[in-house]
Amino acid sequence: MNIEPIKRRVIFCIAIIVLIFMASLVSLIVFYQSASPGTYAYLYQDGVLIETITLSDITQNYSLKIEGTNGAYNTIEVHDGEIGIVSSSCPDGLCMNMGFIHDDLLPITCLPNKLVIKVVSEESDTANQALDGITY
Amino acid sequence: MSIKKMVTLALFTTIALTIFVIESALPPIAPIPGIKLGLANIVTLVVLVHYGSKDAFFVLMLRIILASIFAGQIISFAYSLCGGCLCLLSMCICNKLLHNKYIYVTSIIGAIFHNIGQIIIACVLLQSLSIMVYLPILLISSIITGLFTGLCSHFLSPFFSSKKGLL
């Protein structure tokens, strides 16, 4: 062919990059459409489920403080149908900028304090709960 | 390694460290962990193109170690290490394929793998796979920032070629 081998590789690389870009865009749009408003919020500290909060029957806003190691803390506020971090000891403060989440599109994470807040739409019975029974 | 080369690589490390420290003081653009301009990759890419992968590895390791001592908590060392090593590996492979040309393509691929590496280490440290949801947004932002840093390296790189006699 008239295209030299290096130009062929460049076009191949650019094609891969465009493919990744399109796949990310499509998956974002699909996620956004299928984001369902959540009823339960799971709080994970260091990968361990520490709290389950029911978001649907909150009559009064309340806040709770999650303590970690070395004086690390995150203050979480729960409103009717949404949950968010209002103050934190982490140095970057990204978790506070994330605001309040009310659907399962994106979790709130505080990476320095290893806290993950996930909203799920119905009680999921995957790895979060223990085995009910084993068959042989 | 000659004295001249050692001093030049040390200068590159200093420049990369300064860029990294200044960039980490900028306010975050989006509330998603991991989106950053990654301007220190400009230096890594220039060293890779002009000096080879081993010297680029030295500069990268030195910059990561010094940066985590100067301007961050010790946990950012793990994130930068994983992302940076994966980034350098992918850029070496891509550079070999493209024969030191088309630097912006190499830079985009490096940025993509940098963010993939950071997500993987975040999943390992937080022990939950729910962080993977951030991957599409991070990939899109890494393509854009990789293109920007790649263009910067592309315009910067001719100044360091041996013909110009600057090094």
Domain layout of chain B by residue ranges: 3-160
Q: Do the Cβ atoms of A107 and B73 come within 8 Å?
A: no
- Residues of chain A that touch chain B, judged by Cβ-Cβ distance less than 8 Å: 6, 9-10, 13-14, 16-17, 20-21, 23-25, 27-28, 31, 44, 46-48, 91-92, 94, 97-99, 105-107, 109, 111-112, 114, 116, 118
Q: Dihedral through CA B51, CA B116, CA A18, CA A94, nearest 10?
A: -110
* pLDDT digit string, tens, across residues A2-45: 678 888 888 888 999 999 999 999 988 888 887 777 677 888 88
Taking the mean position of all CA atoms in its chain, how far away is CA B16? 9
Mean pLDDT throughout A109-125? 74
CB neighbour list of residue B162: distance below 8 Å, 6 or more residues apart: none
For residue A6, list chain B residues with Cβ-Cβ distance below 8 A.
98-99, 101-102
Are B119 and B138 in contact by the 8 Å Cβ rule? The answer is yes
Q: Which residue of B has its CA nearest to A48?
A: B127
Q: In what order do the strands lie in the sheet with A73-79?
A: A62-67, A73-79, A82-88, A100-101
Closest chain A residue by Cα to residue B128: A47
The token pair at B40 is 């220190």
Q: What is the edge-to-edge ordering of all strands in the sheet holding A48-54?
A: A48-54, A40-45, A115-120, A108-110
Question: How many angstroms separate the CA of residue B126 from the nearest CA in chain A?
Answer: 5
Q: Which CATH architecture has domain B3-160?
A: Orthogonal Bundle (1.10)
In this prediction the pTM is: 0.83
How many A×B Cβ pairs under 8 Å? 89
Bridge partners, A51 (sequence order)? A43
Q: State how far residue B8 is from chain A, nearest Cα, in angstroms.
A: 30
Contact A9 B98 (CB under 8 A): yes
Q: Determine the Cα–Cα distance for residues B67 and B114; give it in Å rounded to an integer.
A: 17
| Cβ–Cβ gap A21/B139 under 8 Å | yes
Q: How far is CA B99 from CA A5, B54, B95, B106, in A?
A: 11, 16, 6, 11
The Cα of A58 is separated from the nearest Cα of chain B by a number of Å equal to 25
Pick A66 or B113 by higher pLDDT. B113
Reported as a single tens digit per residue, the pLDDT across B118-149 is: 999 888 887 777 788 888 999 999 999 999 99
Give Cα B103 distance to the centre of its chain: 13
Closest CA to A78 of A52, A92, A58, A97: A58
pLDDT of residue A61: 77
Rounded Cα gap, residues B138 and B67, in angstroms: 22
DSSP for chain A, please give it: --S-HHHHHHHHHHHHHHHHHHHHHHHHHHHHHT--B-SEEEEEETTEEEEEEESTT--S-EEEEEE-GGG-EEEEEEETTEEEEEEE--SS-HHHHT-EE-BSSS-EEETTTTEEEEEESS---STTS-------
Of A14, A47, A106, the CB nearest to B128: A47
Going from the C-alpha of B75 to that of each of B68, B69, B148, the distances in angstroms are 8, 10, 27
pLDDT band for position B163 (50/70/90)?
low
Facing B127 at nearest CB: one of A6, A47, A118: A47
Mean pLDDT score, B70-81: 79
More confident residue, B121 or B34: B121
pLDDT value of residue B92? 93
Alpha carbon distances (Å) from B78 to A109, B27, B34, B39, B82: 17, 22, 13, 19, 6
Flag if A24 and B105 touch (Cβ within 8 Å): no
